[in-house]
Chains A and B, each alone.
Chain A
Amino acid sequence: MAKLWAIIKREYLERVRTRWFIFATIFGPIFFGAMVIVPAIMAKRSRSTMEFSNTRILDATTTGIGNRIADAMNRGRAPGAEAPQVVVLKLSEVSEAESTATREIKSKQLSGYLIADQQTLRGEEVRYAGRNATSLGDMERLRSAVREAVLAQRLEQAGIDSSRVRDMTFLPLRLKSERITDKGRGGSGTVSIIFAGAIAFLLYMTIVLYGQNVLRGVLEEKTTRVAEVVVSSVQPETLLAGKILGVGGVGLTQQVLWVITTVLMFKLRQPILAKFGISTMPFALPEISIGLALLLLLFFLLGFIFYSSLYAAVGASVNSEQEAQQAAQPMLILLVATAIFINPILINPTSTLATVMSLLPFSAPIIMPLRLALGSVPWYELVISLLGVLLACWGATWLAARIYRVGLLMYGKRPTLREMGRWIAYSR
């Protein structure tokens, strides 16, 4: 036990002392913070230009709907901002006007154009083309402006006074969502999505970074032949366990420090953002219960042990960094495949995809914590997921220990899968 502790201590201290670790631990949250703040500043800057001041409305009706749309788009905007230009034209002239507008958009004289026709009046369809067509916020505002205009037109046709119509249709409605779980209200829905996404991303990154760190550590011991001295003093399994626990401890330390600084920055974000002239909605950090924290820790540890023991096996069976990169592909594919699904699952956490990915042992350590952070998960799914990961961990460490023990002292060419199979079969 004292020897295992000596190995854990060495692995931990030698890594925590490196400049890279100190740098990443301090600048990580600042970097993440910048990822939140910079887009906010950019968005604020770009908002005034992207508001539809430079938009052309091609009105192919004779009802004046174009002006109504322009009016609706204009409402609530800063005074003095330029209103969209409205061009009333015949239906036969639309295609030519469209190509003119397209040219002007290309030469940046115009940012977009909108075509209102009979279908628009019927409330069925309105077409828009422009540079900001991918901006969900802009398109949503455009849609509600057109709705407002069509509604106003209908109300007037029904004989309601035009000045009253204006007030009745102006509805700058904002949706504030709040999450409710089994345990009660759980803060804003957006916040919990950001929180869950951050957890999944953090787990993914720590496992990838520190898994490869284990690989490099094993490879260093093998190529410098330190391994031979160490395994003459302790069992290879002890060295392997000490390495995984030591490196895992480093990853955990970094995560905890990151979380602490992020929470601090979050608490202080309002004064910081205010300096840039951005007001923030006051929203509370999601509450994390002790039970949830323990579950997150458990999934991290199991996931890390699973992947890093496989990485260690790879490190022991190769002889150079280049070989290692190739041989580590399978693990990276599993991890990246998991990471790809983080976003879809965040958007739809109750989908079958989410359930399946949170039960498969290779993705569960990242996806199950994500689901847990988003809301309640049926207890039996949690149990199945945990059992699966535990089993996978047991299998991976068993396999890794056997490959590690033989590979560590085998130099020369990279073994074939067949030879590795034989290593696994060796008792010792």
Chain B
Amino acid sequence: MTDFTVEIDNVVKRYAEHVAVRDLSLRVPRGAVYGLLGPNGAGKTTTIRMILNIIAPDAGSIRILGHPASDPTITDRIGYLPEERGLYRKMQVRRVLRFLAELKGMKAADADRRIDAWLERFDLKTAEKDWGAAKIDELSRGMQQKVQFIGTLLHDPDLVILDEPFSGLDPINAQALKDTIIDLKERGKTIIFSTHIMDNAERICDSVCIIARGEKVLDGQVNEIRESHGSRNVALGFGGRPPSTVTTVLSDRSLVSRVDDSNRYFEVEMADGADPQILLHRIVDTGATVSRFEIVRPSLHQIFLERVGATGVETGMTGHG
């Protein structure tokens, strides 16, 4: 019994025009919420498809729950929510869900029992209305997403893979999804989700892997990553409008390597070897009223920008994520 749900070793996937994934290795701990982060076209979807055995790697090995990814028995233990969502439009909700469960090796009768519980949980079956008997295209977009999410979890998978799960969700569904992810984690399931929205990842993930251009940039536990990127970041807030001389101080490259204006405060990254104390002195000297000066750990967003940069997106490769 291994401690890792997913073990990827030196995996390569080439297409005719480009290399989608090059020499990728990562470990997803059992019971973790794992974020696969990267810009569009970084190789996230290709990696997920290889984990799901939809496509095979050209080199390297992938093991899921201790078995090779190509082991046919393993697919029944994985639940997958693709990035682009859709279901058979003309089919009844209950029949779609039963079909998806049967594809995962469930008996129709077992599936039916669970379907009702899930529909109730997501408010698709209430005293007044049973949406289970409706056809998919009679449902609102939000309800369709709920149905698809139920389809992903119906067979109680040990590994749940969600490709950009928050895209297109309204705040209520997003919250429901987040709650479900936490609930799954508490029940010992492993969740992998890909996203390019770092704030989501920072809030939910235990561990992340950032990939760009098909290569791993960094991976590890979120806390450790932020720790290792040191205390070189300063959150700087002003009471009232700061004098223009502040800009001169902040653009001194011997002191500050980068500034990110987050509207209510600035996130300042110190230059190598620069002392935050000196920064504070010089800002106070300008006569500005400082309302906040706090040494913070960098956000994943900052780390991502620092490590991947704006050039992380290769042109013309979107859609193959």
Quote the shortest CB–CB distance from B48 to chain A (angstroms): 9
CB distance A3 to B103 under 8 Å? yes
Q: Identify the closest chain A residue to B70 (Cβ).
A: A428
CB distance B86 to A6 under 8 Å? no
CB distance B82 to A225 under 8 Å? yes
Q: Identify the closest chain B residue to A238 (Cβ).
A: B103
Query: Bound complex: CA of A344 vs CA of B119, how far in Å?
Result: 60
CB distance B86 to A224 under 8 Å? yes
CB distance A3 to B319 under 8 Å? no
Given A225-B82, A225-B85, are A231 and B99 also a contact pair (CB < 8 Å)? no
Residues of B with C-beta under 8 A to A231: 54
- Greatest chain A CB density within 10 A among B52, B54, B55, B87 is at B54
We find that the number of chain A residues with CB closer than 8 angstroms to chain B is: 27
Residues of A with C-beta under 8 A to B89: 220, 224
Quote the shortest CB–CB distance from B13 to chain A (angstroms): 11
Query: Bound complex: CA of A231 vs CA of B53, how far in Å?
Result: 9
CB distance B55 to A6 under 8 Å? no
Decide yes or no whether A39 CB sits under 8 A from chain B.
no
Decide yes or no whether B56 CB sits under 8 A from chain A.
yes
Residues of B with C-beta under 8 A to A7: 103
Query: Bound complex: CA of A233 vs CA of B151, how far in Å?
Result: 12
Residues of A with C-beta under 8 A to B142: none
Query: Bound complex: CA of A18 vs CA of B78, how far in Å?
Result: 33
CB distance A411 to B319 under 8 Å? yes
Q: Which of B85, B90, B100, B151 makes the CB contact (< 8 A) with A14?
A: B90
Query: Bound complex: CA of A411 vs CA of B321, how far in Å?
Result: 12
Q: How many A-B contacts are there with CB distance less than 8 Å?
A: 66
Residues of A with C-beta under 8 A to B102: 2-3, 6
Decide yes or no whether B166 CB sits under 8 A from chain A.
no
Query: Bound complex: CA of A225 vs CA of B49, how far in Å?
Result: 14
Given A3-B105, A225-B82, A225-B84, are A232 and B319 also a contact pair (CB < 8 Å)? no
We find that the number of chain B residues with CB closer than 8 angstroms to chain A is: 30
Query: Bound complex: CA of A230 vs CA of B95, how far in Å?
Result: 15
Quote the shortest CB–CB distance from A237 to chain B (angstroms): 12
Residues of A with C-beta under 8 A to B280: none
CB distance B75 to A225 under 8 Å? no
Query: Bound complex: CA of A7 vs CA of B99, how far in Å?
Result: 8
State which residues 131-175 of B face A: CB under 8 Å.
Answer: 148, 151
Contact pattern, A 54-95, Cβ under 8 Å of B = 1, otherwise 0:
000000000000000000000000000000000000000000
Given A229-B82, A412-B319, are A224 and B88 also a contact pair (CB < 8 Å)? yes
Quote the shortest CB–CB distance from A3 to chain B (angstroms): 6
Given A409-B54, A411-B319, A412-B319, are A233 and B103 also a contact pair (CB < 8 Å)? yes
CB distance B103 to A6 under 8 Å? yes
CB distance B82 to A234 under 8 Å? no
Contact pattern, A 232-247, Cβ under 8 Å of B = 1, otherwise 0:
1110000000000000
Decide yes or no whether A106 CB sits under 8 A from chain B.
no
| 8 A-B pairs closest in CB distance | A224-B86, A6-B102, A233-B103, A225-B86, A232-B80, A228-B82, A225-B84, A428-B56
13 A–B pairs (Cβ distance < 8 Å), ordered by A: A3-B103, A6-B99, A224-B89, A225-B85, A228-B84, A229-B148, A230-B103, A232-B78, A233-B75, A233-B76, A233-B104, A409-B54, A428-B56
